[in-house]
Chains A and B, each alone.
Chain A
Amino acid sequence: MTHTAIDLPRLPIGDWCAAVVLWAQENLGPILDAIYSVLRALDDKLAAGLHVVPALLMAVILGLVAWAASSWKLGVGTLLGMLLISTMGMWDEAMDTLSLVIVCSVVAMAFALPIGVAAARYEAVSHVVRPVLDFMQTLPVFVYLIPAVLLFGIGVVPGMVATIVFAMPPGVRLTELGIRQVDREVVEAGHAFGAAPRRILTRIQVPLAMPTIMAGVNQVIMLALSMVVVAGMVGAGGLGALVYQGITTMDMPLGFEGGIAVVILAMFLDRITAGLAGRSPVARVSKATARA
């Protein structure tokens, strides 16, 4: 049984999108090059740094970070998890992936924070940003890869660009939400005592919104990790490449091991950011008062 489309002229939406990408490719050369070199440099530097440290020492360092951010239990768990990755022979790939996730998350948050702040402050910005975020978040992740490859070629950078775009929305949303949720009277108090808007933002709104913003950071990191794996398809390397290789060669052991390594990284990053969120002054205060 076939359905016939409603009898309307066909709109070549796909072509339009493609045209935009092609136009960008032709006309935004210098900008694209700049983006390319910055992202590339960031990732190279961080990855190199992570690779310099011997695996065992790095595992211990990550364990200590987890301990400091959360608890000794997480520290031990992290140490064991990292050792497991190492025994699976995936240490280098895991560090590549970690580097990608960190760089992409930092860049995504660097955009998300000011956009979120602007959206919280100006209703108009909020109205424009919201549908764009919906678009960014729900467009199937693979679709990003096509224009990314067209604009940046095969390699790490298109994967990073796709990751940044895909991971940014929760950062913007939760920043906006966090700032909007700050008690209006407290913000008013800042104005009433003659504080400048910038100081109100940095001394009152952002600190008080920090728990929510940190939840956004957590989401950004998780999305970045999931996208970085997909980005393995376009040559972003790391665990994603291993998983992709496992899929294309129907190599089940490789696929599972790569997958497990991703899960270990994910849990590590998730628990750490959650732990850090609980350490912000405001979160500490609400805990302290809940006890009292």
Chain B
Amino acid sequence: MPAIEAEHLYKVFGRRARDGVTRLRQGATQQELNEQDGLTAAVIDASFTVEEGEIFVVMGLSGSGKSTLLRMVNGLLEPTAGSVTLMGANVTSAPPKTLRRIRRERVSMVFQHFALLPHRTVLENAAYGLETQGIGKAERARRAAEALELCGLGGWGDKLPGELSGGMQQRVGLARALAADTDILLMDEAFSALDPLIRRGMQDQLLELQSRLKKTILFITHDLNEAMRLGDRIAMMRNGRIVQIGTAEEILNDPANDYVARFIQDVDRSRVLTASSIMEPPVAVLRSEQGPRAAHKLMRENQLDTLLVVDRDRRIRGTVGEQTVVRAVETGTTGVEGLLERSVPTVSPDTVIADLLAEAADSEVPLAVVDEQERLVGVIPRVTLLTALSNTSATSEGGPDGEAQTDSATDPQPDPPAASAHDAEVPA
């Protein structure tokens, strides 16, 4: 059973909103609806499911409808059409009392501007969800203190929110949501109001917490880098519609339309794409039982001056260099065991390209990509790495095509490149 299931959600604001849904189903666009019917379609036919333990990011610019979408998930806004199910409980048709119980027990929320109660202490704020659950004072304090500890705020319980920095206030917001101990966490632009460095730290902390707590997280953001960093899967939203759902790599490698393509053109791919997406099949690899002659032949055929040597199980034994091989052929040495250079740089398939650079710089030989059993799954020659890096800028030189330009003319939203330039990550 998926944790969150949204089916054909529509949210139209204005009089006779339901007629607006009918019009949209018949193919009217958001703009037509606004001009001809005076209705604002915030979310149009949005369907998605979020599995338990997954971080699902909804990414879109302001006005794309992502916050409205989020608010329909916990029933803060009632959908004009469609339905939302949380862990099997239908939110959309629930009467107010049931809805409040669902919110107390199943889903908590973290807000963009923290939404803390300024007149209550940090501890009391963290305990707020427990308070609405009707849990006794002592237990409340204990669990809230635990949640604060978890968020790195141990010892701050007696302070007032106003005495804390923005980043710390949002930790309180996160602690409040975690203390409530719901399976589902909704995060509405939770880190957007924070400075880039703090934001980065919070993202790391969230990922770290998530690896332990395995919550189901629905995360809203306008920052593509944040989406790519956090999201197991990402839904790209535009003008009220979900235009693509996929992993970061799927979206980067196979954008669904020009809008997405234009949007992702300035993403720092080196921090999103991983070794597995650029590695090459290890064709020119010497098996350890082969001899220097075979090595020499392989080198000539593939124009290489170094070869990776693997055993029967494709575990890396080392490398051999051209000069060593040539000398061995001349002296008639058999077997390559004695010729091996043992230090081979290896990386895992999940390493992002940015982290490959340092490894590659220190190494004469191609980087070896190995799986969890240390078996060779691919290689990344330096040329490949450089090509992958240059591709990140090559796409943006292509520029938006005709249709994309029309789009930008009618788009009231800020230009994606500008937005992502502003949010550019600070290199660690």
Contacts and interface: CB of A to CB of B under 8 A. Distances in A.
Contacts of B103: 191-194
B74 to A, nearest CB: 6
A124 interface: no
A6 interface: no
B163 A292 contact: yes
A193 B128 contact: yes
A289 B115 contact: no
B116 interface: yes
A193 B109 contact: yes
Interface string A239-253: 000000000000000
Contact of B115 (A183, A199, A207, A281): A183
B162 interface: yes
B132 interface: yes
A41 interface: no
B190 to A, nearest CB: 12
Interface string B109-122: 10111111111000
Given A192-B76, A193-B104, A185 B160 contact: no
B62 to A, nearest CB: 16
A37 interface: no
B335 to A, nearest CB: 69
A128 interface: no
A288 interface: yes
A45 B129 CA distance: 45
Nearest to A282: B119
B27 to A, nearest CB: 34
Contact of A193 (B114, B119, B129): B129
Nearest to A186: B115
A146 interface: no
A288 B162 contact: yes
B100 A208 contact: no
Contacts of B116: 186, 189
Interface string A186-229: 10111111111001000010011000000000000000000000
B117 A186 contact: yes
B118 A208 contact: yes
A181 interface: no
Contact of B113 (A185, A192, A193, A196): A185
Contacts of B111: 185, 188-189, 192
B162 A195 contact: no
A288 B160 contact: yes
A204 B104 contact: no
Interface in B299-358: none
A288 B129 contact: no
B132 A288 contact: no
A21 to B, nearest CB: 41
B330 to A, nearest CB: 77
B118 A285 contact: yes
B160 A289 contact: yes
Tell which of B76, B100, B176 has the most Cβ of chain A within 10 Å.
Answer: B100
Nearest to A207: B119
Interface in A243-292: 281-282, 284-286, 288-289, 292
B115 A193 contact: no
B100 A285 contact: no
Contacts of B160: 285, 288-289
Nearest to A210: B119
B119 A285 contact: yes
Contacts of B109: 189, 192-193
A208 to B, nearest CB: 7
A188 B119 contact: no
Contacts of B74: 192
Nearest to A187: B115
B274 interface: no
B101 interface: yes
B187 to A, nearest CB: 11
Nearest to A189: B115
A282 B76 contact: no
B265 interface: no
A292 B104 contact: no
Contacts of A195: 100, 132
A267 B108 CA distance: 49
A185 B115 contact: yes
A204 B117 contact: yes
Interface in B80-117: 100-105, 108-109, 111-117
B379 interface: no
Interface in A101-135: none
A285 B132 contact: no
A194 B163 contact: no
8 contacts: A186-B116, A188-B115, A189-B111, A191-B76, A193-B108, A194-B129, A284-B119, A285-B160
Interface of B: 74, 76, 100-105, 108-109, 111-119, 128-129, 132-133, 160, 162-163, 176, 180, 186
Given A189-B115, A286-B118, 6 more contacts: A188-B76, A188-B115, A193-B104, A194-B103, A204-B117, A282-B118
